[in-house]
């Protein structure tokens, strides 16, 4: 069964589109995101990102108010760009639109072009991206910003043996693990985009206005000449937002669309793709990690078979974690995403075609719909971001946290789920949460069972 969007959204499941774009821009070297909209939009994005990553995060704003809503916000945008360039001295400014600026019809490209011409700007690139939240969620904004950056820099390039690795919004720990696997497989000449593993998760040290790290624009410029693009999570990315598909269409770079490497099969597919590219055998270190995962799956399977998970969040994460649950015996009861543009549901139907019983699918989900479906399906565990804590508070369904945002726990940016090692870590979290719930309530369940038997005996 598939449930469509409700007319009134209660406690939404997704973050807004420009927020996803801002995080993508944070993965580009010396870049400052600038929100063309009200001050409240950028304040919300800064707060949400700081709470999740526990790092100082600067997101600029053009601070539109009632006057600019009527007269237009070009003057405010110019002033905001002047201030950002003067204070931060960035290499790139990513300008993201909001519902307000899109609704009043701001012509972003014309405004940016006029500003660059008037200022005679050199040494700073300004990249506008259309990200109104009524058109998509944070996953869509992330893909749109990543594609815009690649479009800006990846012109014709000489062919080389490098590989492009494009990622969706995942934890910084998962980024580092993906890079480790790529390098273990002998692929050392690669460009991973966007790389916010240092810009949003930096070690303790002296503060700088723009954190070091991020994908270099010089490396992005070479992406059009790479031998292949591996796009993780691209299976659930709409074609019109796909950066890898654009590289294939514009520059002929072969595209390998893969799910996130979460789960045994998904990680196997990632490793096999790297093996085909590098021509090298799988190193012993990865083979051992795969063996540990298999051993952990054998240990945990009898417990996971009792799991009826609710899985929600961004499409690429939902598909990957649903895959991991299914291959460990926990057939999802409810699968939900806040987006409406993704081919996620079609992919999931293929994944779960042979499963015993079909989950309830919810598109454009809010937590009111998720709660109702979870209660009806007798779900006993949830997997997703902190928004799902309402499932624990109201229905005593324990939550295994993953994705964005995680604002009620420390270390959300360091949750490892990718690769063989990350999948094993996730499997342990999942299984131990089920066991904790079981051991916390089994005496109560036994007491209820004995009571029912006693009542039946009296009857």
Q: What would the DSSP string read from start to end of 295-318?
A: HHHHHHHHHHTT--EEEESSHHHH
pLDDT at site 183: 98
Low-confidence spans in the chain with pLDDT less than 70? 1-9, 442-459
Task: Report if residue 141 sits inside a domain.
Answer: no
341 lies in the same domain as 426: yes
Instruction: Tell me which of 136, 171, 203 is where a domain ends.
Output: 136
Give me the CATH number covering residue 218.
3.40.50.1980
Quote the pLDDT of residue 99.
Answer: 94
Q: Is the peptide bond before 416 cis (omega within 30 degrees of 0)?
A: no
What is residue 446's predicted lDDT score, i.e. its pLDDT?
55
In a domain, 252, yes or no: yes
Could you list the residue range(s) of the whole structural domain that residue 234 is in? 163-278
Q: Where are the alpha helices (DSSP H) in 328-418?
A: 344-351, 367-376, 389-395
Which one of 259, 278, 297 terminates a domain? 278
Task: Mark whether 253 and 315 lie in a shared domain.
Answer: no
**Residue 439: per-residue pLDDT:** 86
Same domain flag for 297 and 431: yes
Claim to verify: residue 226 and residue 289 sit in the same structural domain: no
Query: Using CA atoms, how far apart are residues 361 and 369, in angstroms rounded to an integer?
Result: 10
Q: CA–CA separation, 242 vs 257, rounded Å?
A: 10
Same domain, 238 and 290: no
Answer whether residue 1 is part of any domain: no
- pLDDT value of residue 342: 79
Q: Are residues 220 and 92 in the same domain?
A: no
The phi and psi torsions of 157 (rounded to 5 degrees) equal -140, 150
DSSP 397-447: --EEE-SS---SSS-GGG---SHHHHHHHHHHHHHHHHHHHHHHHHHHHHH
Q: Tokens 């980024």 sit at which residue? A: 175
Residues 356 and 400 in one domain: yes
Are residues 304 and 376 both part of a single domain?
Answer: yes
Nearest to 307 by CA among 426, 451, 174: 426
Do 305 and 335 sit in the same domain of this protein? yes
The rounded distance, in Å, linking the Cα atoms of 401 and 108 is 37
Task: Please count the structural domains in the chain.
Answer: 3
In a shared domain, residues 270 and 419 = no
pLDDT at 156: 83
Torsion sign, CA atoms 306, 261, 373, 1: negative
Q: What pLDDT shows up at residue 229? A: 98
289 found inside a domain = yes
> Which residues are within 8 A (CB) of 322 and not within 5 positions of it... i.e. 6 or more apart?
311, 332, 335, 348, 351, 352
Residue with tokens 């309402």: 390
């Amino acid at each position: 069964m598939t449930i469509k969007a409700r007319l009134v959204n209660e406690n939404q499941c997704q973050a807004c589109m420009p927020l996803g774009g801002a995080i993508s821009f944070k993965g580009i070297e010396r870049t400052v995101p600038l929100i063309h909209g009200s001050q409240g939009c950028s304040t919300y994005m800064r707060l949400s990102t700081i709470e999740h990553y526990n790092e100082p995060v600067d997101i600029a704003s053009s601070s539109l108010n009632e006057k600019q809503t009527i007269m237009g916000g070009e003057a405010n945008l110019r002033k905001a760009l002047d201030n950002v360039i003067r204070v931060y001295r960035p290499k790139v400014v990513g300008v993201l639109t909001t519902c307000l600026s899109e609704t009043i019809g701001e012509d972003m490209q014309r405004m940016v072009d006029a500003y660059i011409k008037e200022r005679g700007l050199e040494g700073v690139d300004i990249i506008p991206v259309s990200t109104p939240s009524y058109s998509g969620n944070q996953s869509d904004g992330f893909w749109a910003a990543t594609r815009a950056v690649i479009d800006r820099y990846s012109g014709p390039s000489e062919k080389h043996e490098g590989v492009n690795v494009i990622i969706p919004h995942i934890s910084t720990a998962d980024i580092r693990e993906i890079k480790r696997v790529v390098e273990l497989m002998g692929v050392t000449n690669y460009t991973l985009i966007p790389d916010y593993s240092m810009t949003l998760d930096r070690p303790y040290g002296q503060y700088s206005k723009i954190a070091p790290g991020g994908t270099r624009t010089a490396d992005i410029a070479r992406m059009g000449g790479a031998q292949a693009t591996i796009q993780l999570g691209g299976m659930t990315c709409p074609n019109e937002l796909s950066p890898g598909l654009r590289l294939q269409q514009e520059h002929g770079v072969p595209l390998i669309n893969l799910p996130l490497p979460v789960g045994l099969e998904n990680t196997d597919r990632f490793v096999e793709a790297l093996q085909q590219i590098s021509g090298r055998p799988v190193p012993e270190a990865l083979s051992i990690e795969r063996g540990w995962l298999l051993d952990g799956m054998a240990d945990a399977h009898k417990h996971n078979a009792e799991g009826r998970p609710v899985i929600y969040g961004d499409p690429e994460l939902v598909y990957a974690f649903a895959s991991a649950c299914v291959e460990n015996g926990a057939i999802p009861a409810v699968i939900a995403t806040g987006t409406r543009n993704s081919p996620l549901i079609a992919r999931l139907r293929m994944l779960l075609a042979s499963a015993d019983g079909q989950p309830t699918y919810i598109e454009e989900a809010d937590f009111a719909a998720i709660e109702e479906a979870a209660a009806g399906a007798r779900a006993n565990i949830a997997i997703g971001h902190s928004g799902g804590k309402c499932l624990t508070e109201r229905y005593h369904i324990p939550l295994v946290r993953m994705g964005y945002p995680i604002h009620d726990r420390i270390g959300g940016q360091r949750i490892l789920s990718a690769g063989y090692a990350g999948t094993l870590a996730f499997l342990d979290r999942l299984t131990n949460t089920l066991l904790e719930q079981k051991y916390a309530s089994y005496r109560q369940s036994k007491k209820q069972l004995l009571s029912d038997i006693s009542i039946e005996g009296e009857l």
